[in-house]
Structure 1
Amino acid sequence: MSKKIENIPLLPLRGLLVYPSMVLHIDVGRARSVAALEHAMLNDNQIFLATQRDLRVEQPSEEELYSIGTLVNVKQMLKLPNGTLRILVEGISRAKMGNYQEQKDFTTVDVEVHEDEKEKDAEIEALMRTLVSYFEKYAKSSNKITTETIDSILDIEEPGRLADIVASHLPFKVSEKQEVLGIFNVKKRLDHLIIRLHDEQEVLNLEKKINSKVKQAMERTQKEYYLREQMKAIQAELGDREGKTGEVADLRKRLENAGMPESTLKVALKELDRYEKLPAASAESGVIRNYIEWLVTIPWKESTEDRLDIKHAEEILDRDHDGLEKVKERILEYLSVRQLMNSVRGPILCLAGPPGVGKTSLARSVAESLNRNFVRASLGGVRDESEIRGHRRTYVGAMPGRIIQGMKKAGTVNPVFLLDEIDKMSNDFRGDPSAAMLEVLDPEQNSNFSDHYIEESYDLSQVMFIATANDLSTIPGPLLDRMEVISIAGYTEIEKTMITKNHLIPKQISENGLKKSQLTIKDEAIIDLIRYYTREAGVRNLQRQIAALCRKAAKIIVSGEKKRVTVNSKVLEEMLGKHRYHYGQAEEENQVGVATGLAYTTVGGDTLQIEVSLTPGKGKLILTGKLGDVMKESAQTALSYVRSLSDTLKIDTDYFDHNDIHIHVPEGAVPKDGPSAGITMATALVSAISNKPIKREVGMTGEITLRGRVLPIGGLKEKSLGAHRAGLTTIIIPKDNEKDIDDIPGSIREQLTFKPVSSAEEVLNIALVGGFK
């Protein structure tokens, strides 16, 4: 049933609506709304209420209002001190808005009023009872609806009014309430509210379950907090003699401030919780405590700021090291690229050379020039992979590997890390440590280095690794491939003299308690020390001899014999004894069957005397001097080549069947191996057979083939330095090694004559007195 009312004032509502039969207070402040109210009060007190779709709009248009609203009767109007009106309205009926007209001060509309049917049939009665039953359950569950409200609803007989009153008490949004207001059919309205009440009841039940869980969790947390506080109080009374509270709190704080990755911190805190719950006497408690202590002492974020000043680096390298110009130049190039790239990623430097040439001190100088912490890990004799990667925590006495231990010592994430004697690692049944080093030295992998003890990934990408080695041949190929080798062959006599003056003498004077004025070592004595008391590539033995001079000088001064000591060549021999080495020619005179070869050993270049003796016999080849397999094969090859020279040597074809050949390399206790002694053996054999002496000033190196070709060798620089120390003046080298002469220091090249050859006949013509033919 409906009727039409024209030109009724419109009052827009924000976030609010009124159902029929509902009495409500409303505050009105907008000017047009106040004018509409005043017009209504002067006429029949009726006004039409329509809710805004968007409550933020100040002056809504027709499209911004819901078309279904409520016709109300204004029961009371009160003007408040702030200028707004407070009205009391009572809903009359639903109405549909039409003919929207903007007047001068307010808006009027025509409305079509819809009255609810009051007749009830069996279906409506059933719907009403169901709605009331659902509402009672909801009211009891929500605890927000009073008993008086429930009782008042039970007394309502009109179905439409019942639906509206129930809807007004449900926690609906404005849009949902508007949906109910727009349902004119009473049956549909009752049915809609029953469904919504059922849904609200389900939501209410879920809320109760969630609240119950939250309450239980809070009660458990409160209980644990209470017990912890009790424990703290008890431990405080006992002086915390057996409690871990303070220690755990300190460890937790240190872990959180360590700067470790989130995943690692999560694992560490979990282990800390386990540690807190374990009895102090438990064995596992100590294991976890050590593990956490390692985690907090390893640097995760601490770093030093790099000083990328190439001039400063050059000053430090020149201050700490004389000579080694090419080596220092390569290091400065590396640092220059490092400065331009602003990254550590790149080749890992490997300083290769004999002992005592300054590999470790070079690495220390690099660290100083970069303003980085320096840490050294010695890898000599490491056989177990766990030495690098650490042991599993399940083992007794487990601890991290050398890398993590070194990072702990360094205290920063970007130190200069020296891997000393990387060539001395070996493998056995416990694993291959060199394989573990592959991950450490690979810039693509070491950002997630895995230590068995720490278990969590550790970032080594900011570490500058420098390795040292004496012999590159013992380093596995894949590991050597990850490093850029910088060879340090050794020092010339001039360089050794400068090192002695600038570094060794001042250092030993200081270490032996002397003053600079109390000991003077003349230049002639320094030269004699180098020539007659040491024979090495580096300066380690030279340093020992200077230390011996300082000790003897200290004894003289302390005993009161002299106040200061001056060492010249004569005093040097008195203090250190007779000369230990001969300087000059390797041999005193030209000899038959004795050739001087050049060798490259782990302690630098050296000379090698090869002797050949012929005795009547059955054609045996006897090799002595602890030769390796390759060197034995070189001897066989040299002999086969010499046999092919029978006609040239003018000997019978059965000469080798009736004579035994004995090849001996002195210092039989020292292992010797390599192919580069081939031409030396062939020369000694030809000399012995032809009875022609070999020139004493000639040294030679090169591999020989069966056809007499001379093949290239390695280590020419080191061998040349060794030849110079031995006093040789002419060196026979393979033709293919001619390009390596430029690597030899200029002072050495000036004193040596290099003879590049491609065949053994050339060697014989140069080495034998009077030539070969």
Structure 2
Amino acid sequence: MPMQYPLICTRGVIVFPGQEIVIDVGREASLKAVENAQDNYESKVCLFSQKDMKVENPNINDIYGMGTLCEIRHVRRFDKFLRIKFRGIDRVELNSWTKGSLSDLADISIKKSIFQDELEEVALIRMIAQSFENMTHIEKLFPKELMIELSKGMGPDVLTDKAIQAFPLTLDRKQQYLETLGINDRLEMLLQDIEKEKKMTEVEQKINETVKERIDQSQKDYYLREKMHAIKEELGDIVQQDKDIENIRKRLEENPYPDYIKAKVKDELSRYEMLPMASGETGIIKTYIDWLMDLPWWQETKDNEDLNLAQSILDEDHYGLEKVKERIMEYLGVKQMTNSLKAPILCLVGPPGVGKTSLAKSVARALNRKFVKMSLGGVRDEAEIRGHRRTYLGALPGRIIQGMKKAQVVNPVFLIDELDKMASDYKGDPSSAMLEVLDPEQNSLFSDHYIEESYDLSKVLFIATANYLENIPPALQDRLEIIQLSSYTEVEKVHIAREHLLPKQLKENGLKPSQLKVSDEILLHLIRYYTREAGVRQLERTIGTICRKTVLAILKDGKKSITLTKKLVKEWLGNEKVDYGKKEKKDQVGTVTGLAYTSFGGDILQIEAQKFEGKGQLILTGQLGDVMKESASIALDYIKAHAKEFGIDPKCFEKTDIHIHVPEGAVPKDGPSAGVTMTTALVSCLNGKPVKANLAMTGEVTLRGNVLPIGGLKEKSLAAHRSGIETILIPKDNTKDLDDIPQEVKDAITFIPVSNCKQVLQNALVN
């Protein structure tokens, strides 16, 4: 029989017949329904549960079709809501929703429970009672009163409704119980849920036992932290750590990092997640992850394959240096032909200021590659190269890895400057650590202590620079492709000054080319008398000084343009600062012009010999090193053995002291190239024959009178040319080095190869 009662929609609550429950009522429609029920319906209302709790103003489609007719037992009033105790009476089915004048009304039909097969009902009740007895922790699910009533033989319809009230079921499942009228059907459902709960309890017990066995303090912390993390997410309080983790995971997915790097980052990330932000280790792990991800693993620049363009860039930046340019062009050509090539490891060796470092930059520009530089001057700690282990506070990768991070590509031009300036101490030998970096066979798997994962350096074009090849350890030399850069000739220096240094200094000092005119003759004057160097650094500084003086003259004296003259140079720069060795004007007895190779290039020096009465002693002065002292002894003994051939009385050695002096006594001198010069000076002194003034010589001598080859022939030849020497005696084995000597020098000087001292004396002494 249809009836009407005020309607209340509940959220997340289902009331069963016989159940007493307290519900807070706050919506306006619900408050009206309660008031209407109390006034007109004997405090009876219908409660229907919403399908979606979020709906604020539900209609008939938003609520379940089966609800409960309830009686209002008690009302407690608050400011904005009523707290009401309801008691369930009967299941009711909603027929329609009527908008009444005082409140919404539900047209309902009461639905009674249906008794089914009696035998089956008894069996089900027994099974449920048995299940209750076997359940552990049953008191957590069902109150004691329910268990007592069950033992007394509670009615099956009441049993299901009471049991469900305390059972941990979802809203949908409870609604199914409410909508199921068959008692046996409800009993079967209850039995299923009890069995399901028993299995859940067993699983929970098993998990708890396993966790208890394995759990330690860090896992507890992890569990609590995860819980805290979930709470923060619910509150919208996402901390910076979570954003960092999200960004790192995103970068890993989006970029083609090697698999072993991805695995390493994920491993470190899991440790990072477990630690609180306040922990000191989070910063260390985050820094390590950043290093791993910021290093270039696949990024690469494309090489310039236009060989003519590369050649023109190299020529534009540097005058001369043909061997280096040729080697770079060979590398480019072979790489283009094979499409894959291990980068060579070049080592440019030469005096300061000849353009080693700037040449490396020029190579990077010609190849269209990134350029990075690392200077090894004064490095004495192996960790500077290989990095520190992460166990140390403030650990960092080595300079190689730092350079690669700075380059951001796997194939930069990497300049290792001052390779010969490395030192070693108790912290290790950095030159040994460099072996792995500069070995083409090993550097594809370079290992940095900090990064821990192998890094491929095989695509890097390493260019090392050094002033002295002797200071590079032999094991390291063996792995390098050595390219010697000699000092510049005067002609080359004039060209460099004209094409590069003068325009650069004019621009830096704000001058136009028309405001300062410098002829090649004046540039040569500056090179000869105001600089003494193998390179062009001092020359550039001298030109810079002249430019500044010009600026001052233009602004202060009102001059529009200045033409540089020798007189003006002397006025601005002072007297000539360099006095190169000059040849003798006349043929001299006992004085020979020798050739020397210094860090500033070549120079000539006079070796003087004098005899006087004494006891046969040999006196050496001029700050000579051990090698030159030995050369003097060898020369004297050779002359004693062949005295008669040279027209010398053998007895004179017993009563004569011989003094050999190398001028500029304050300057230390050493090297294996003064043997023939000393021999000639001694023979000339002892037999009285003068030595040709326009002749110079170089070479080492043996006790048998053989002339041995020397180094630095190009620099020595340039010095002789500068001094006006017309003939040079060179060891026969040095003939192959004549190809390196500039043509203008070969045109002005006659080179005479000699293989023994007799040939030297035939050419040097005036008959």
Which bracket does the TM-score occupy, shorter chain normalised?
Answer: 0.5 to 0.7
**Aligned-pair CA distance for 1:264:** 3.0
**Aligned-pair CA distance for 1:212:** 7.0
CA distance in 1, matches of 2:742, 2:269: 61
CA distance in 2, matches of 1:279, 1:607: 74
Aligned length: 563
CA distance in 2, matches of 1:411, 1:424: 27
Pick aligned residue for 2:486 from 486, 489, 493? 489
- In the TM superposition, what are the counterparts of 1:18-167 in structure 2 within 5 Å? none
Is 1:236 aligned with 2:233? Answer: no
What SS does structure 2 have at the residue aligned with 1:308? coil
What SS does structure 2 have at the residue aligned with 1:542? helix
Residue 414 of structure 1 is matched in structure 2 by: 411
Residue 560 of structure 2 is matched in structure 1 by: 563
Given that 1:381 and 1:424 are in contact with CA atoms closer than 8 Å, whether structure 2 keeps it comes out as yes
Change (3 A) 1:387 1:666: farther
- In the TM superposition, what are the counterparts of 1:483-632 in structure 2 within 5 Å? 483-582=480-579, 585-632=582-629
Change (3 A) 1:275 1:421: same
Deviations along 1:190-230, one digit per CA (max 9) or x if unpaired, are xxxxxxxxxxxxxxx9xx9999779999x999986553232
What SS does structure 1 have at the residue aligned with 2:748? coil
Change (3 A) 1:380 1:591: farther
Deviations along 1:285-324, one digit per CA (max 9) or x if unpaired, are 4433433332233222221111121101111011111223
**Aligned-pair CA distance for 1:380:** 2.3
Change (3 A) 1:600 1:429: farther
Pick aligned residue for 1:452 from 441, 449, 458? 449
CA distance in 2, matches of 1:279, 1:227: 11
Change (3 A) 1:691 1:544: farther
Deviations along 1:518-572, one digit per CA (max 9) or x if unpaired, are 2221222112112222233322221111111111111212224313222123322
- In the TM superposition, what are the counterparts of 1:179-328 in structure 2 within 5 Å? 226-232=227-233, 236=237, 240=239, 244-254=241-251, 259-280=256-277, 282-328=279-325
Deviations along 1:156-181, one digit per CA (max 9) or x if unpaired, are xxxxxxxxxxxxxxxxxxxxxxxxxx
CA distance in 2, matches of 1:280, 1:210: 32
CA distance in 2, matches of 1:704, 1:230: 91
Given that 1:738 and 1:756 are in contact with CA atoms closer than 8 Å, whether structure 2 keeps it comes out as yes
Change (3 A) 1:297 1:659: farther
What SS does structure 2 have at the residue aligned with 1:274? helix
Which amino acid in structure 2 is aligned with residue 236 of structure 1? D
Change (3 A) 1:511 1:389: same
CA distance in 2, matches of 1:500, 1:645: 52
CA distance in 2, matches of 1:210, 1:489: 83
Pick aligned residue for 1:332 from 320, 323, 329? 329
What SS does structure 1 have at the residue aligned with 2:560? coil
Residues 598-607 or 516-525, more deviating: 598-607
What SS does structure 2 have at the residue aligned with 1:408? helix
What SS does structure 2 have at the residue aligned with 1:343? coil
What RMSD in Å do the two structures reach over aligned CA positions? 3.3
Is 1:692 aligned with 2:689? Answer: yes
State the percentage of identical aligned residues: 58
**Aligned-pair CA distance for 1:596:** 2.5
Residues 307-316 or 578-587, more deviating: 578-587
CA distance in 1, matches of 2:751, 2:204: 93
Change (3 A) 1:311 1:223: same
**Aligned-pair CA distance for 1:501:** 1.1
**Aligned-pair CA distance for 1:353:** 1.8
**Aligned-pair CA distance for 1:584:** 8.4
Residues 594-603 or 376-385, more deviating: 594-603
**Aligned-pair CA distance for 1:339:** 1.7
**Aligned-pair CA distance for 1:378:** 1.4
Is 1:423 aligned with 2:420? Answer: yes
Is 1:740 aligned with 2:737? Answer: yes
**Aligned-pair CA distance for 1:276:** 4.2
Residue 187 of structure 1 is matched in structure 2 by: none
What SS does structure 2 have at the residue aligned with 1:236? coil
Given that 2:343 and 2:462 are in contact with CA atoms closer than 8 Å, whether structure 1 keeps it comes out as no
The two structures have a TM-score, normalised by structure 2, of 0.67
**Aligned-pair CA distance for 1:754:** 0.4
CA distance in 1, matches of 2:331, 2:667: 38
Pick aligned residue for 1:757 from 754, 762, 766? 754
CA distance in 2, matches of 1:232, 1:634: 87
What SS does structure 1 have at the residue aligned with 2:284? helix
Change (3 A) 1:288 1:672: farther
Deviations along 1:235-283, one digit per CA (max 9) or x if unpaired, are 838xx5xx53333433454466564432233333333443444455554
Given that 1:524 and 1:568 are in contact with CA atoms closer than 8 Å, whether structure 2 keeps it comes out as no
Which amino acid in structure 1 is aligned with residue 452 of structure 2? E
Runs of 5+ unmatched residues, structure 1 = 1-139, 141-204
Runs of 5+ unmatched residues, structure 2 = 1-133, 135-198
CA distance in 2, matches of 1:234, 1:622: 96
Residue 400 of structure 1 is matched in structure 2 by: 397
What SS does structure 2 have at the residue aligned with 1:766? helix
Change (3 A) 1:631 1:452: farther
Deviations along 1:377-401, one digit per CA (max 9) or x if unpaired, are 1122323322221222333433222
What SS does structure 2 have at the residue aligned with 1:514? coil
Which amino acid in structure 2 is aligned with residue 729 of structure 1? E
Change (3 A) 1:268 1:705: same
**Aligned-pair CA distance for 1:736:** 1.4
Residue 633 of structure 2 is matched in structure 1 by: 636
CA distance in 2, matches of 1:746, 1:613: 38
CA distance in 2, matches of 1:463, 1:497: 35
Change (3 A) 1:287 1:755: same
Pick aligned residue for 2:662 from 660, 665, 679? 665
What SS does structure 2 have at the residue aligned with 1:647? coil
What SS does structure 1 have at the residue aligned with 2:620? strand
Pick aligned residue for 1:351 from 345, 348, 353? 348
Is 1:472 aligned with 2:469? Answer: yes
What SS does structure 2 have at the residue aligned with 1:524? helix
Deviations along 1:56-82, one digit per CA (max 9) or x if unpaired, are xxxxxxxxxxxxxxxxxxxxxxxxxxx
**Aligned-pair CA distance for 1:744:** 1.5
